[in-house]
Amino acid sequence: MSFALSSPKRPGRLKSIAFLALSVSLSACGMGEVRRPSADVGNSSDTIAVEPVSQTQADENYDQVVTVAPAPDMTEESAEPAQDIQPLSRAEEIPVQNSESESDESYGYPGSISDPISRGESSFAMSGSEISCRTQLKQLGVVFQEGQPINDGGVCRIDHPLKVSGFSSGRIKLKPAATLNCQMTLAFAKWVKGDLVPSSRLRYLSSVNTIHQASSYSCRTMSNQRGRAMSEHSKGNALDIAKVTLNSGREIKVQKPGLFSFRQRGLLNSVRSDACSYFTTVLGPGYDIFHRDHFHFDLMERRSGKRSCR
């Protein structure tokens, strides 16, 4: 043994022994063997080995899965003539819905508006003064309905007529219902409240029940005489009163009173004088033959600004 260690070949043998020992240790640690990859399926402890795929086989599989479709030939598509497209008619473009209610109530505005752009048929065409006038009528308790525009040619027209049937929230009736413009209606309502009712209570101890009118809107000349100027009635700007019925049942006719009709004379004189504060024209019995049986009230505009009360 001493001979072997002392021989000159001892270093070479030591290297061989060290190499063998290293190989054995590496083999024990598992470094000398390469395991195949495995896939874990579920919670099972078994594993499924995945076979390695060669590069050639991978390329073949890729070609089978991924295919690129050729781009369409735009020249063939553009060569086909386009079909003619007919434009839709106006009725097909915008469907029209009928928004009219089946009820005949108009709630203060004209119903059955066929053309909302037309000034005569559109409630939106009302001026601020027209709207304000109607607000005052409601505050005074005037009973009225909106009417369709009136246009009989020339000055015979009312853009926004009212059909007036009562005052004081219906406690005072107007028979028959009068067709007037709003300003004339407002002036008459103020006169009823501020003059006629207080005067009748003062002289007859009874309020007014019904006012009987003889003429409202009418397309005619003054006093219905040929050659004269058009009457304010043709604008809905005048109203004729022939009789007043009180709550007591007494009837007061507008005519020249008898010699001993003191209360009737006092009432008619008071009405004639005080009405000039509300109207620009007041004509009654004694003025002429055409006004012998009624009061004529209107809102005629005169250049001089004067009022005519006779």
Over residues 241-250, the pLDDT tens digits come to 999 999 999 9
Domain assignment present for 129: yes
Q: What is the pTM of this model?
A: 0.61
**What confidence tens digit (pLDDT) does each residue in 146-163 have?**
999 999 999 999 999 999
Domain assignment present for 194: yes
Question: In sequence order, which residues have a C-beta less than 8 Å from that of residue 23 and are 6 or more positions away?
Answer: 32
Specify the pLDDT at position 4: 45
Domain assignment present for 172: yes
Specify the pLDDT at position 238: 96
Domain assignment present for 76: no
**By three-state DSSP, how is residue 277 classified?**
helix
**What residues make up the domain containing 133?**
123-309
Domain assignment present for 298: yes
**What confidence tens digit (pLDDT) does each residue in 201-229 have?**
999 999 999 999 999 999 999 988 888 99
Which residues does residue 40 pair with via DSSP β-bridges, in sequence order?
47
Q: How far apart are the first and last CA of the chain?
A: 169
Quick one: which of 112, 213, 122, 104 has its CA closest to 159? 122
Residue 116 has pLDDT above 50, yes or no: no
Domain assignment present for 7: no
Angle at alpha carbon of residue 130, lines to 127 and 135, rounded to 5°: 130
Domain assignment present for 235: yes
Mean pLDDT of 57-64: 52
Quick one: which of 282, 249, 255 has its CA closest to 268? 255
Count: domains in the chain: 1
Domain assignment present for 58: no
